[in-house]
């Protein structure tokens, strides 16, 4: 999207994507200390809300916009991802006996990879389908009796001269709207997953032995 629709070069696209990685790194450092003090489910809920809000910010994107919303939404999304995946790993293995953790690791990786593949396939399908739908809706509104279209054609020497550029603009806007539809879908799925967090079992706290009691023994 950043390169094909907004026209950012490769280097600048990488710079705009960097805040997401920075946010993930910072949140993983923080959550490593918080997960032993607070209920991991609370951290997961907070991270999910951050991810959902960042996706809501992304639904407001436009082809002509500044880079600040892109970097801010990416940073918040990275922070949310760190607050979700680290406590989730802790909860996933907290109630499993040590002898089963090797098998559980393989199963956990399998489920995550399958879910990732299904998610990528879903958003790719929605993106392609909605691009066609949006193109049809936008093109149907470009009629010869449209005042703005007549004015645009008159300022560029007639309809014959704007046919190619007009088709390109419609294609560009249809692709941008398709990306926004994908962001809406991911936002809805993110918020809809919140109730599942409360089905997770909180790991039992292990009480530290009393030093005075140990000395008396």
pLDDT tens digits, residue range 177-190? 999 999 999 999 99
Inside any domain, residue 61: yes
Kindly report the average pLDDT of the chain as a whole number.
81
Average pLDDT rounded to a whole number, residues 103-116:
86
> Hey, which bits of 149-199 come out as E strands?
none
Inside any domain, residue 216: no
Inside any domain, residue 24: yes
Inside any domain, residue 169: yes
Query: For residue 64, what are the domain limits?
Result: 10-201
Inside any domain, residue 140: yes
* Residue 168 confidence (pLDDT) above 80: no
Inside any domain, residue 209: no
CATH number, domain containing residue 37: 1.20.1250
Give the integer Cα–Cα distance in Å for 203 and 11. 44
Number of domains in the chain: 1
* Residue 217 confidence (pLDDT) above 60: no
Give the integer Cα–Cα distance in Å for 78 and 70. 12
Let me know: does 79 contact 47? Beta carbons within 8 Å. yes
Inside any domain, residue 2: no
Inside any domain, residue 66: yes
Q: How confident is the model at residue 205 (pLDDT cuts 50, 70, 90)?
A: low
Whose CA is closest to 205, among 37, 34, 28? 37
* Residue 176 confidence (pLDDT) above 80: yes
Q: Which residue has the higher pLDDT, 209 or 145?
A: 145
Please state which of the ranges 7-16, 29-38, 102-111, 144-153 shows the lowest mean pLDDT: 144-153
Q: Which residue has the higher pLDDT, 163 or 195?
A: 195
* Residue 10 confidence (pLDDT) above 70: yes
pTM flag (> 0.75):
yes
Q: Which residue has the higher pLDDT, 178 or 158?
A: 178
* Residue 58 confidence (pLDDT) above 50: yes
């Amino acid at each position: 999207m950043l390169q094909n629709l907004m026209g950012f070069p490769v280097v600048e696209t990488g710079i705009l994507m960097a805040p997401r990685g920075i946010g993930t790194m910072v949140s993983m450092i923080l959550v490593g200390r918080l997960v032993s003090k607070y209920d991991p489910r609370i951290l997961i809920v907070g991270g999910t809300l951050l991810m959902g809000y960042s996706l809501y910010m992304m639904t407001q994107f436009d082809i002509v916009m500044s880079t600040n919303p892109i970097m801010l939404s990416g940073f918040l999304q990275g922070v949310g991802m760190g607050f979700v995946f680290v406590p989730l790993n802790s909860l996933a293995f907290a109630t499993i006996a040590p002898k089963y953790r090797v098998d559980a690791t393989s199963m956990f990786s399998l489920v995550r990879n399958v879910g990732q593949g299904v998610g990528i396939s879903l958003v790719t399908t929605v993106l392609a389908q909605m691009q066609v739908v949006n193109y049809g809706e936008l093109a149907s509104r470009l009629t010869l009796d449209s005042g703005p279209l007549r004015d645009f054609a008159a300022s560029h020497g007639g309809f014959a001269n704007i046919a190619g550029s007009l088709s390109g603009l419609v294609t560009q806007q249809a692709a941008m709207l398709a990306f926004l539809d994908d962001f809406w879908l991911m936002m809805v799925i993110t918020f809809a997953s919140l109730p599942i967090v409360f089905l997770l079992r909180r790991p039992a706290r292990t009480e530290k032995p009393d030093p005075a009691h140990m000395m008396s023994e």
